[in-house]
Structure formats: C-alpha cells, structure tokens
Structure 1
Amino acid sequence: MRKQVFSIVALMVTGVLGASSGTAGVVEDQISEHLSGAVPGLEISTVRESEASGLYEVQSKNGDTVYTTRDGAYLLTGDLLKITGDGIANVTEQARAGHRKQVMDSYGEGGVIRYKASNEKAVIDVFTDIDCPYCRKLHDEVPQLNDYGITVNYYAYPRSGPGRPSFTKYISVWCADDQQSAMDSAKAGKTVAAATCDNPVLEQFQLGKSIGVTGTPAIVLEDGNIVPGYVPARKLAGGLGLL
C-alpha cells in the first residue's frame, strides 16, 4: 500500500485526479473509478462517506484505509481520530475492525485447527507460524486459555511464504490424521511426518494478508479488533473480561 500511496500523491500533484461531481451514491462510484484508474492494481473494497464532514473513507481489499475529498482531488493517509467526551477515539481503527470482522465472518471457520474450550466464553482466531518463537510460547498456554473459556482457532500464516519449510510444515500438520497432536509436536520443535493433501494453507495465508496481518502470532478478536504479537493467557483473558 505504501507504493500505492506514493503513486496517489504523485498523481494528485500532477492533477490526474480531477474534480468530480454527482449526488450521493454516484459520488462513491466516481471516487472509486478515479482511484482505480489512477493507481493500477489498487483494488477498492468500499467507498463511503466518513463521519468527518467532507471526507470519504476508501477501504482497499487488503484492509488499508485512506480518505478523500468529495471531488477526489485530495487524499489523506493515516488514522482519523475523533475527540469525544471520554477522550480520543480512533475512527480508522474502528473501520479496520469492522472490515476485518466482515472478512473473517465471510471466510468462516472451515479449515481451522481448533482447540475448543469446554466452557466456551470467547473465541479467538490466531494466525500462526509453526516456527515462530512467540507463536510457540502462545501455544504452550492454549490449555490455560481453554481453562479460561477461550476457544483457539488456528489459521495458517507461515510468514516466509509458499514453498518455504514453515509453509510445508503447516501443510503436513493440517494433513495429519490427528491435527492437534501434529500441531503440538510441531510447536514443540519435533519432526512431523511429511504429508500432503488438499489444504487451506495458502488460502488462509492470503486471508491473513487481506486483513492486515504482518507478523505472528496475530490474534483476531470476535469484534474484528486485532492483537499483534504474544499476550500472556491471563492478560488476554482479563482483556476479554473473563477474570
């Protein structure tokens, strides 16, 4: 998205993004058309009027957000903050969370490796890498998370990408007869028998990219908010209001 933003700024300076006019509904389409034409490869998910008067929120399919004026002539990057009676609210992060929840709900739980809590009170979706040290640290605490009533759904996110050892290991874990046992062994640094089958590893890796996952573990909460990195089980349970 950074290269795209630089391209957009350059195009603004040269006036490529000309002014547009139209009524509500038409404006969003015109903004989308302008940006898509000006920045090849930019895939826009939604354009909608922002709660900040005069600005429109543009959400790309990879979860990035920028803001534009009604005529499409100016763009703003970065988070939009709102001063409220309780302090400052991050409007952009709220939008990201909404987009993330929508994408995760649309994908569903097909293909996840699940560690279900018997007294389920909350569910977290964790994008994980077999070889990530902090992913292993989090995995060691999965029984504790389950005891707190937190179900853990694992989604594949081998950071090195397709064709690399971590990617292949995750495929072997997913294709194992006992996925949980294979995951436990792999997270402990043990060798898992090589296996291949139809699997969702690449699809889940791309899913992670589409919602803005850049590192592991990445914990996606039920409301779409994301917690980057390892969080101790007790602290996570407390943050979810379970203690």
Structure 2
Amino acid sequence: MHYLLLGMMLLCAFAANAGMDPQQLKQTIAQRLGVRVFLIDETPVPGLFLLGTSQGLIYSDARGDYVLQGSMLDLGHGMKNLTMLDQQRQRRLALAQIGEQRMQLKAPHERHHLTLFTELGCRNCRATLDELPMLQARGVSVQLLPVLGRFADLADAQALWCDPALLGELSLSDRLPAAGCNEILAHHIGLSQWLGIKASPSWVLPNGDLVRGYQRPEQLLKLLDHIDAPANLSSSAS
C-alpha cells in the first residue's frame, strides 16, 4: 500500500554536498533494499550519511554502495550514542509534520504531554485507551495517532478512525474533521511508518524517546517526571 507521504516530509535535512545527490541516493537505497527513505542527513564522518527509512535508521556512502546498521558512538565525547540522539530527533521531526489536524485528549491543568500510536482493536490498545482519562486527570495531555495493523487495510482503518462516533467515551478536545479525514489519516499512518512504529500501543515522550507496549499510567508518569534525564530513559524506553 502506497501512502501520500513523501511530499509532506523532509527528504533531505541539509544542502546537498558536491558529489552527493540526495534524490539519487534515496532512489538507489529504495531499489536495493526495498524500503522508503524519508530523511537524509550528514554525520560527523565525512562521506557517511544518515538515512531515516521505513525500517529505521541506517548509514550509507554517497552512492548507496555500502550500508551500515547499528549505533554510532562518539568516543571523543563520553561515548555519546549519536544514533539514539538521531532517533529522538527524527521522532520529534516527524511529529512536527502533523499540523493542526489531530486527535488530542487535553488535560485541564497540563503538566506533561505524550503521543500515543495505537490500533483500536488489540487488547493492550483497548486497555490503554480505557486508562487515558486517568492520565488526563493527572495533568497529562495525550495526542493519538493511528497504527496500521499487520493485516489491516488502509480503507478499513479509515472507516474506523474517521467514524464520527470514534472514541465517543473520551472527551477529545480535537478530533479529525469529517472533510478530508481519509487524506489526513493516510498522512498520520505514514508518520508511524516513517518512525517504524510496529508495536501497538507505542508512546513517544516529549524528548523523542520511544516506549513500546502497554504501560500503566503510574509508569508513564514516572518517565515523564524524569524526562530531564534522557540518558537514563534510553535503556527502559527502547
């Protein structure tokens, strides 16, 4: 299934270097690996580029002849995990593409905010949705984004998420508009693909960390209260 996504996202996050064509590199990697490339960026290593793909972050030379997958560590600065930092940045960048058309459960006295990627039918997803009012009451606003299940079809997802009665038990402050809902939903699903969100539910914290699977409200609040220490979150949030 192809989604109207690339025109709404950044292909290249920098001015093209001489001898490196971002569009050509994107096409080469897409053909050779069978993945979509949403973002290309420089790395501290001359001639090595970071690619954000539908299967996660990879590294490539300028021609797409050699590809690396793994973590890049900056040994000159305390073994800083540059790949983890790029993953966080990519998630923040992707969520910035949502625009004004969103689904959101707004907390009256907001202390924190989260993004929840979810299906509607899975057991853990349903339990998570049922507990959202508990987060709302404790000052956590939640933005909802759809994930397309492994065997789901875009048309089926649109029929569910664009239903005016969707999540009627939740006091959503923002809902998808009836006009253009299908296109907006396709864009939102494309965001989940850009970020490689496969586990449902999955949470993205304000600093860009990803937390997979069902989490009790108390667990999420603990993470949010310590969001100023992202290095400690990386092990538990991965």
Tell whether the structures are fold-level matches, with TM greater than 0.5: yes
Per-residue deviation, residues 41-68 of structure 1 (Å, max 9, x unmatched): 65544433313x3452332453732223
On the 8 A contact 2:112/2:139 being kept in 1, the answer is: yes
Match of 1:153 among 134, 139, 143: 143
On the 8 A contact 2:30/2:37 being kept in 1, the answer is: no
**Bigger mean CA deviation after superposition, 68-77 or 209-218:** 68-77
Distance change (3 Å), C-alpha of 1:68 and 1:38: closer
Q: Which AA in structure 1 matches 2:138?
A: Y
The reply on whether 1:240 has 2:224 as its aligned counterpart is yes
The reply on whether 1:80 has 2:72 as its aligned counterpart is yes
Secondary structure of residue in 2 paired with 1:141? helix
- CA distance, structure 1, for counterparts of residue 96 and residue 211 of structure 2: 18
The reply on whether 1:64 has 2:33 as its aligned counterpart is no
Larger RCO, structures 1/2 (Cα 8 Å, 6+ apart): 2
Secondary structure of residue in 2 paired with 1:181? coil
Per-residue deviation, residues 132-160 of structure 1 (Å, max 9, x unmatched): 11112212221221232110111122412
Per-residue deviation, residues 51-95 of structure 1 (Å, max 9, x unmatched): 3x3452332453732223467553212232344776x54321221
Find the counterpart in structure 1 of residue 168 from structure 2.
181
What is the deviation of 1:32?
Answer: 5.5
| 5+ residue gaps, structure 1 | 1-23, 185-195
- CA distance, structure 2, for counterparts of residue 139 and residue 220 of structure 1: 15
On the 8 A contact 1:157/1:201 being kept in 2, the answer is: no
Distance change (3 Å), C-alpha of 1:34 and 1:126: closer
The reply on whether 1:226 has 2:210 as its aligned counterpart is yes
Q: Which AA in structure 1 matches 2:199?
A: G
What is the deviation of 1:38?
Answer: 6.1
Find the counterpart in structure 2 of residue 103 from structure 1.
94
- CA distance, structure 2, for counterparts of residue 226 and residue 170 of structure 1: 23
What is the deviation of 1:106?
Answer: 2.0
Find the counterpart in structure 1 of residue 185 from structure 2.
201
> Any residues of structure 2 matched to 1:111-122 within 5 Å, and which?
111-112=102-103, 114-122=104-112
Aligned CA RMSD, in angstroms, stands at 3.1
What is the deviation of 1:117?
Answer: 0.9
- CA distance, structure 2, for counterparts of residue 143 and residue 182 of structure 1: 10
Find the counterpart in structure 1 of residue 129 from structure 2.
139
| 5+ residue gaps, structure 2 | 1-15, 172-177, 228-238
The reply on whether 1:215 has 2:199 as its aligned counterpart is yes
Distance change (3 Å), C-alpha of 1:148 and 1:44: same
Secondary structure of residue in 1 paired with 2:48? strand
The reply on whether 1:50 has 2:72 as its aligned counterpart is no
What is the deviation of 1:161?
Answer: 2.9
- CA distance, structure 1, for counterparts of residue 143 and residue 58 of structure 2: 31
Find the counterpart in structure 1 of residue 10 from structure 2.
none
On the 8 A contact 2:200/2:212 being kept in 1, the answer is: yes
- CA distance, structure 2, for counterparts of residue 111 and residue 34 of structure 1: 32
Which structure would you say has the larger Rg?
Answer: 1
- CA distance, structure 2, for counterparts of residue 78 and residue 96 of structure 1: 12
On the 8 A contact 1:28/1:47 being kept in 2, the answer is: no
- CA distance, structure 2, for counterparts of residue 48 and residue 28 of structure 1: 11
Q: Which AA in structure 2 matches 1:219?
A: W
On the 8 A contact 1:42/1:60 being kept in 2, the answer is: no
